[in-house]
Amino acid sequence: MESVGVDEMSESIIPGLPNDLALRCLVMISHGYHGLLECVSKRWKRAIRSKYYADLKAEGGWSGDWLFVLGSNNSAMWLAYDPDVDRWRPLPQMPGPTSDEEFCRFSCANICNKFLVIGGCYIPRSTVWSETNLSEVNSVIVFDTFKKEWSTAASMSTKRIDFACTAIGEKVYVAGGRNSDKLQGLASAQILRVLITILDTSTDPRALAVACYDLSQFIKYHPAGRIIVSDLKAKDRVMKLMNHENAEVTKNALLCIQRLFLGAKYASFLQS
């Protein structure tokens, strides 16, 4: 995306209006009409594809919500539904899959006005499906909704299929899943490390509350949950959140510590 600021645009976007005001008018138009807006002039196209425009749209809450769906007959063709204009739009073909391959068992996330397709596997269409003829990947493919282009981002350290994925703040977290080397599933400790990373780095109260709750659930249901969480030194991190200003964070941190010290049975009794 071009990093063009409003002060760097020498030509008027809308004659008679300052460029800053003109852009603030344009950001209120649904994303689904960007194709038409870009046809007005080259300066409009540059402005709408600029990072400054994207930041203004996000700041004002005008980015909109799109639904992305993968086509059934072509594993590289995605469709996007824009509820503001009640219209489906085809995306450019995603790099990677060929017409002879089926792409599946991936995960998706949305972050910073970008749509991410993460991991997954390729299966030849000409062969009978089995766990032995699939090819897992650790790739991260990114669609920029403003530039309308696909690109690749840094790959995951591990190839994964059937895994969990979520975006928190400006970061994407993946956990669990499996691959041909770990058919029974990737180590559950990886999921715990993701939760602990959230406790260390996130300032979002909802993310912190969910992380504490998930840790408490792991302690409750895993036979060795208390030992594993203690070995990963999560206790001190959670205890710091017991005095958090957000009541939901405090409540879930307290529940996690109760289960860590007292066990699931007695912690549930105290909670009730």
pLDDT digits (tens, 9 = 90+) for 7-56: 455 677 888 888 888 888 888 877 767 778 888 888 888 887 777 787 77
CA distance 137 to 142: 15
Q: Tell me which amino acid residue 272 is.
A: S
Its pTM stands at: 0.58
Query: Is residue 1's pLDDT more than 50?
Result: no
Write phi, then psi, for 259 (nearest 5 degrees).
Answer: -70, -30
Where residue 202 falls among pLDDT bands split at 50, 70, 90? confident
Give the up-direction half-sphere exposure of residue 71: CA atoms within 13 A in the CB hemisphere.
16
Q: Quick one: tokens of 139?
A: 């790739």
Give me the percent of the chain exceeding a pLDDT of 90.
15
- What is the tens place of the pLDDT at every residue in 141-186? 999 887 788 999 988 888 888 887 877 666 787 777 778 776 555 6
DSSP labels for 87-147?
A: EEEEPPPPSS--TTEEEES-EEEEETTEEEEE--EEEETTS---TTS-EE---EEEEETTT
CA distance 177 to 160: 6
Whole-Å CA distances, 125 to 102, 119, 134, 140, 177: 6, 19, 10, 23, 23
Average pLDDT of the chain is 79
CA distance 74 to 158: 26
Query: Which pLDDT belongs to residue 266?
Result: 45
The answer to whether the beta carbons of residues 76 and 103 sit under 8 Å apart is yes
Query: Which pLDDT belongs to residue 88?
Result: 87
| Cα radius of gyration rounded to whole Å, the chain | 23
The answer to whether the beta carbons of residues 3 and 51 sit under 8 Å apart is yes
The mean per-residue pLDDT over the stretch 60-68 comes to 73
CA distance 41 to 44: 5
Query: Which pLDDT belongs to residue 267?
Result: 45
The position carrying tokens 């409003």 is: 6
CA distance 3 to 79: 27
For residue 20, give the nearest of 29, 9, 30, 28 by alpha carbon: 9
Query: Which pLDDT belongs to residue 252?
Result: 93
Beta bridge partners of 121: 104, 136
Conformation bin of residue 110: beta by default, left when phi > 0, alpha when psi is -120 to 50:
beta
Query: Is residue 2's pLDDT more than 50?
Result: no
Query: Is residue 118's pLDDT more than 80?
Result: yes
Query: Which pLDDT belongs to residue 184?
Result: 55
